[in-house]
Homo-oligomer: A and B are copies of this chain.
Amino acid sequence: MIITLEHGVPQQDIDKIVSVLQKYSYAPTEVKTQQSHYLVGIGTDEIDIRSIGHLSGVKDIHRVSDPYKLVSRKWKVTPTVIDLGDGVAIEEGGLSLIAGPCSIENEEQVEAIVEHLNHHNVKIMRGGAFKPRTSPYSFQGSGFNGLKMFYQIAKSHGIKIISEVVAASQIEGMYDYVDIFQVGTRNSQNFDLLHQLGSIDKPVLIKRGMSGTIEELLQSAEYVFASGNEKLILCERGIRTFEKAYRNVLDLNAVPVLKEKSHLPIIVDPSHGIGVRRWVEPMALAAIVAGADGIIYEVHKNPESAYSDGQQTLNFEESSRLIEKARAVFELRRSL
């Protein structure tokens, strides 16, 4: 059950509502976000919510039978809009194109891609400065210096950036240099990291775990929301199965299902999903037709010489073609 509280509700009103919830054997959790103030009640008894709805301080009350609550569409039917400022937003019914290299390498690399994106009016750029790598001996990213350089070049060209955070201790240092924090697939259930990301006011994109269920992805988003941050984006990036003909199985089934279950926008990552350059385009287009609110993919001037993930990274020509086709497919989807 989700109770939205009135703005500036006095503490004694909250106490009263909590005591009524407890009387009904509902465990209350108080959630204060930048946007609003809630009480989430967890319980199993059937109760008449009107008996709570009329209490002083209650603005609104909804039953939510899902295991996740605040991210559920059962409660909030209007889709969440992630406003990045300067007219850039990620939202239902839109098509957010997010592109960039796997890893930030150097100024020349970033500038070339920024120019490519600007040419196509793509407004959000991806790029990792902290890379979670299976081996401790692999390239671990260019770190804070790389991130700052990335941010400054992008910003000077009006481009927003998204970059992965791999440790709670980095949040503060990264804060001024990212527009969106990305939580990677291996940290999808790093609850401490998710909890800490609840205390900031910048958007967080959460990738599905490589063997994460739809419900677990939504619960991970619930962690951030319940810790105070409503600015959330979900990302399907492929799951791990028995099939070895491609890197992962990009699971487009997740798109209509997540759209139905949650009010949060859904982005699809075909690069990590299928993991092979020449197959990225069809999967990206399929994701858009399936209802994704955007795609995030890897692009590089010379994929062959990229520090990481070159085999799944598009070159500029392929990227240009994808952008054009993606917009055509999106226009068709809107018209159907």
**Which residues of B sit under 8 angstroms from A135, Cβ to Cβ?**
67-68, 219, 222
Number of interface residues of A (CB under 8 A): 72
Q: Mark A242-280, 1 if CB is under 8 A from B, else 0.
A: 111110011111011100100000000000011000110
Which residues 63-110 of A have a CB within 8 angstroms of B?
67-69
Q: How far is the CA of A167 from the CA of B255 in the complex (A)?
A: 31
**Which residues of B sit under 8 angstroms from A290, Cβ to Cβ?**
282-283, 285-286
Decide: B245 and A249 in contact? CB cutoff 8 A. no
Across the A-B interface, the 4 shortest Cβ-Cβ residue pairs: A211-B211, A167-B192, A286-B286, A186-B189
Of A151-159, A307-315, A325-333, the one with at least 4 CB within 8 A of chain B: A325-333
Given A27-B137, A244-B213, A245-B215: A285 in contact with B279 (beta carbons within 8 A) = no
Q: Mark A148-166, 1 if CB is under 8 A from B, else 0.
A: 0000000000000000001
Decide: B243 and A214 in contact? CB cutoff 8 A. yes
- Can you give 8 A-B contacts (C-beta < 8 A)? A136-B195, A136-B219, A169-B169, A210-B211, A213-B245, A241-B249, A250-B253, A255-B286
Additional A-B contacts beyond A187-B190, A239-B243 (7; CB < 8 A)? A69-B137, A136-B227, A213-B243, A243-B251, A257-B279, A282-B291, A286-B289
Decide: B251 and A136 in contact? CB cutoff 8 A. no
**Which residues of B sit under 8 angstroms from A190, Cβ to Cβ?**
186-187, 190
**Which residues of B sit under 8 angstroms from A192, Cβ to Cβ?**
166-167, 169
A238 to chain B, nearest CB (A): 8
Q: Which residues of A are at the interface with B, using a C-beta cutoff of 8 A?
A: 27, 29, 40, 42, 67-69, 132-137, 166-169, 186-187, 189-193, 195, 210-211, 213-216, 219, 222-223, 226-227, 239-246, 249-253, 255-257, 260, 273-274, 278-279, 282-283, 285-291, 325, 328-329, 332, 335-336
Decide: B245 and A242 in contact? CB cutoff 8 A. no
Decide: B168 and A169 in contact? CB cutoff 8 A. yes
**Which residues of B sit under 8 angstroms from A288, Cβ to Cβ?**
289
**Which residues of B sit under 8 angstroms from A243, Cβ to Cβ?**
213-214, 239, 251, 253
